Amino acid sequence: MPHSSPASPPPTPKVGRFSIGLNVVLQLVLLLALFGIANYLSYRHFIRQDLSPNKDFTLSEYTHNYIKRLSKNVDLTLIYTRESPAMQEVRSLLESYRDIKKNRISTEEIDPVRDMERAEELKLKHNITLQGNGILIEANKRIKFIPEEDIIIRGLSGNRDNPSVDFRGEDAVTSTIINLLEGEAQRLYFITGKGEASGKGPELPFVALSAIGTLQNFEVAPLNLTEVTTIPDDANALVIVGPKYDFSETEIKMIETYWATERAALFILLDPNGQTPRLRQFISTHGVTPRPDRVLYAESTATGPRKEFSVNANFSADSPITQPLQTVTTTFSGQTQSLDVKTESPELRARQIEVLPLITANERFWGETRFLLDLPRVDPEDTQPPVHLGASIERGHVRDARLRVDSARMVIVSNALLLDPATRLDNHQTFVINSLNWMLSREKLIGIPSIRKQTFRLELTADQRTKIFWVTALVLPGSILALGFMIWNFRRA
């Protein structure tokens, strides 16, 4: 039987260099296409998540809901030099607005040092002068520039090594957008001619209130009641700050006539040393009576008697004015008197007047009638806790919030230094803003708090710095190099 040789395997087709090169090129093209698609999709469709403990980069629920319902376009222009330490913070803020409603919110970034042509174009287009860093907002064919000092308020918080920064960016941007879309500004009259508190710093309370008005869409004008016969018809609110001398009967009558109108608004900061019996009587008839005392704390120490007139206080959680501040502790400088707040008066309820306390002193303070003594003690005639320092009055109050637009509203605080630039705190300004917005029936502008940020210095020992050097300069690069060598050796094998 003849021996048959085994069949030889079919020849392996040779792959030419051209085919290999074409395959590599196609793989590279496909890889680049996938890379481009992934980047495009990640740029267009992404989710921002705030992982900071205090949600420092999350807009408030009110701002989110308001921007979500926008029916008009809003242009936000970031005008900041790249060297500014606050640029990234403000840029992130504007991006948060844009991400809520991209079809209505547009953002642009201009460095006035590097983009001089674009900056000049903006100046000519809007006929404005851009001085320093800030945000330019355009809406409803109106514009407003928010300077950096209205966005970031820097302080020391009593510690030079740990400076605080109150970031009011959301408050400034949201209120400005609303103001531009609202149109005409509200008008507030600042009552003068009564020896009102003028402040110890270079800035008067009138100027401080005017600065607040630039962001809250109201104008502040001085008004001397001795020069008029009636409160002007365009008055949306009256502001009385620290009067030292009393109003005449005619002047009080003008205030009473104004208060009797629908949607009247009064903001009163009392000076405990002021002689104002007529003003006191006017306030008392509506449920809030200033007492002839001083809120203080006194104790006997090893060095002698000590009296403390600077009052630590807390904000109430029962009023829309102070709800955003209910977890905040504040301090009133100077002298403060206590207020008798009649919250359960049947007579007031029959007149549809609701009275609510807004600010209450810390429990260790009391209202002392004999405050001139070196070491006063709590007596029966003194006011014991709770000691109220601020209150709100609403005439025409109804339970249905939708019907409150025609009510008259008043806010009284028993300390005149809330607008004093020498002692004013950030929460004082927030309280004033919330009070004015509540009085003007603009509750939608209440509740956007500032965000406090602090810079901490990290101290490292010489041994810790050495370890960081070895880890970052040798261990990590060496680990990556070793991993690469292992992969190369594995594939070669």
Report the distance separating Cα 14 and Cα 452, nearest Å.
71
Regarding predicted confidence, which is higher, 172 or 290? 290
Rank 113-127, 160-174, 281-295 by mean pLDDT and report only the highest. 281-295
Residue 70 lies in a domain: yes
d(CA 182, CA 191): 26
Do the domain assignments include residue 414?
yes
Q: Which of 127, 160, 183 is the last residue of a domain?
A: 183
Q: What value does the mean pLDDT take over residues 68-91?
A: 87
Q: How far apart are CA 31 and CA 25, in angstroms?
A: 10
Domain presence at residue 276: yes
pLDDT of res. 52: 63
Predicted confidence (pLDDT) at residue 423 exceeds the cutoff of 70:
yes
DSSP class of residue 201 equals: S
CB 295 within 8 A of CB 389: yes
Q: Does one domain contain both 102 and 81? A: yes
Backbone angles phi, psi at 18, to 5 degrees: -65, -40
Residue with tokens 């074409």: 22
- The pLDDT, as a whole number, for residue 386 is 93
22 in a structural domain: no
Helices then strands, counting H and E runs in the chain, come out as 12, 21
Among 156, 183, 210, give the residue marking a domain's end. 183
- Does the residue 84 lie in any domain? yes
Q: Residue 344 corresponds to which tokens in the numbers above?
A: 């359960």
Least confident of 54-58, 133-137, 147-151, 215-219: 54-58
Specify the pLDDT at position 385.
92
Whether 100 and 213 map to the same domain: the answer is: no
Last residue of a domain, one of 183, 198, 226: 183
Same domain, 131 and 252: no
Type of residue at 204: L
d(CA 200, CA 244): 16
Same domain membership, residue 421 and residue 334: yes
- 263-301 confidence digits (pLDDT tens): 899 999 999 999 999 999 999 999 999 999 999 999 988
- Is 77 inside any structural domain? yes
Q: What is the CATH number of the domain that holds 127?
A: 3.40.30.10
User: Do 201 and 230 fall into the same domain?
Assistant: yes
With a cut of 60, say whether residue 450 has pLDDT above it: no
Question: What confidence score (pLDDT) does residue 254 get?
Answer: 96
Are residue 177 and residue 289 in the same domain, yes or no?
Answer: no
pLDDT band at 58 (very low <50, low <70, confident <90, very high): confident
Give the highest mean pLDDT range of 122-131, 194-203, 250-259, 448-457. 250-259
Q: How far is CA 149 from the centre of its chain?
A: 13
Average pLDDT, the chain: 83
Q: Which residue has the higher pLDDT, 63 or 245?
A: 245
> Do residues 432 and 327 share a domain?
yes
CATH number at residue 281: 3.40.50.880
Q: Supply the pLDDT for residue 151.
A: 82
- 170 and 229 share a domain? no
Q: Is residue 3 part of a domain?
A: no
Q: Residue 487: what pLDDT?
A: 82
* pLDDT score recorded for residue 314: 95
Examine the pLDDT at 191 and tell me if it is beyond 60: yes
Chain segment 370-379, per-residue pLDDT in tens = 999 999 999 9
Is position 318 within any domain?
yes
State the residue range of the domain holding 393: 184-453
Number of domains in the chain: 2
Both 395 and 332 in one domain: the answer is yes
Do 90 and 150 reside in the same domain of the chain?
A: yes
Is there a single domain that holds both residue 296 and residue 331?
A: yes
- What pLDDT shows up at residue 16? 64
C-alpha neighbours within 13 Å on the C-beta side of residue 222: 11
Pair (401, 448) in one structural domain:
yes
